[in-house]
Amino acid sequence: MTNIPITVGLIGFGLSGRYLQAPFYRAHAGFQVARVVTSRRDELQAEFPDLEPTTDLDTVLADDRIDLVSIATPNATHYEFAKAALEAGKHVLVDKPACATAAQLRELRDLAGKQGLQLFVFQNRRWDSDFLTVRDVVKGGALGELVNYEARYDRWKPEPNAKPWKEKPGAAAGMLFDLGAHIIDQAIVLFGRPTAISGATLTQRDNSNISDAFDIQLTYDGPMRVHLSCSLLVREPTPRYTLHGKQGSFVKYGIDVQEDQLRAGILPDHEHFGEEPAEQHGLLHTETNGLTVRGPVQTRSGHWMGLFDNMYEVITGGAEPAVPLEDVILQLEIIEAIPVLPVD
């Protein structure tokens, strides 16, 4: 069924669809967007002048030209839309969190296998500049045996989100599914399956209808511990990543710039796309053989296009997925293990 290029039906044209997915489909020679399900005609035609909005998913599923359905819709719709697309014979990219439960994703995994199709999850922050740099630091071994890894995903948003679906209680609602899906996934990339999981969600803001903060501890064999947290009431930035090992520490402030660049109209083919400013470089402080080293580590360029490159190679050439579904199933198992405290 697959054409060259792969023909895409994009479902949703909000933040994720318009800014985080569409620019990469446009910039990649291996993809062509043929339909976009949205009510935002003016916004769509600003990006795709030759396209008229498509009104519903069924029209995309009935279109024999469409090879890949790219789902960028509210969390609660992901399972239903992905299942319908797979049943219609389409490959699928579904935004994180892939589903509300691990059981749902296992079902979709099995359905994709039965249909001979590929199911991808949009874990784009595996290709963040800061996380790519963290991976290099861990792999390089300068810190020695790691004893502590902390990742925070904080924001300053004291008022409920203006987008009603973001603050609506229900399946896959709250910051644990939203921002937590990213930093849990990153911990899985670095360290794999934990031996124990603990933590809790919290509701910190006034008038909040969802769990808007979380604190998670993951235990691994040996001295290694992972601490993951999020709050929407952090006005003064704290380190995004902190790593401590038996030979030193690495601390990194700031966040990957790709989203801000895309929203400002800087596209993936720009010469300096994904490059962080020097003031966001991490600090490495180590001691090896009596020699102390303390100084900046240049941040790697962010490269979300890597996800799209991999999708193309998997569909057309049989490459292995860069984001294995088993990793995302584990991510959802960890989320399910964290108590969701009732909103006061």
Cis peptide bond upstream of 5, omega within 30: yes
C-alpha–C-alpha distance, residues 65 and 42, integer Å: 24
Question: Is the pLDDT at 280 greater than 60, yes or no?
Answer: yes
- CA torsion sign, 81 to 86 to 88 to 90? positive
Per-residue model confidence (pLDDT) at position 42: 94
Tell me which residue of 228, 222, 223 sits closest to 241, measured CA to CA: 228
Architecture category of domain 125-304 in CATH: 2-Layer Sandwich (3.30)
Weakest-pLDDT range from 2-11, 209-218, 239-248: 2-11
Q: How is the chain split into domains, by residue range?
A: 6-122, 125-304
pLDDT band at 1 (very low <50, low <70, confident <90, very high): very low
**pLDDT tens by residue, 185-197:** 999 999 999 999 9
pLDDT band at 344 (very low <50, low <70, confident <90, very high): low
Question: Is the pLDDT at 139 greater than 50, yes or no?
Answer: yes
Question: Is the pLDDT at 343 greater than 70, yes or no?
Answer: no
Helix (H, G, I), strand (E, B), or coil: what is residue 290? coil
Per-residue model confidence (pLDDT) at position 333: 98
Tell me which residue of 121, 65, 122, 53 sits closest to 90, measured CA to CA: 65
The vertex-129 CA angle with 202 and 226, nearest 5°, equals 40
Return the higher-pLDDT residue of 143 and 164. Answer: 143
Per-residue model confidence (pLDDT) at position 68: 98
* Averaged pLDDT of the chain: 95
Q: Which spans in 116-206 are helix H?
A: 129-140, 175-178, 180-191
Average pLDDT rounded to a whole number, residues 112-139: 98
Per-residue model confidence (pLDDT) at position 225: 97
If one counts every other C-beta atom within 10 angstroms of the C-beta of residue 289, the result is 5
| pTM for the full predicted model | 0.94
Q: How many CA atoms within 13 Å lie on the side-chain side of 279? A: 0
Question: Is the pLDDT at 76 greater than 90, yes or no?
Answer: yes
Question: Is the pLDDT at 297 greater than 50, yes or no?
Answer: yes
Fold exhibited by the domain 6-122: Rossmann fold (3.40.50)
Return the higher-pLDDT residue of 207 and 93. Answer: 93
C-alpha–C-alpha distance, residues 187 and 183, integer Å: 6
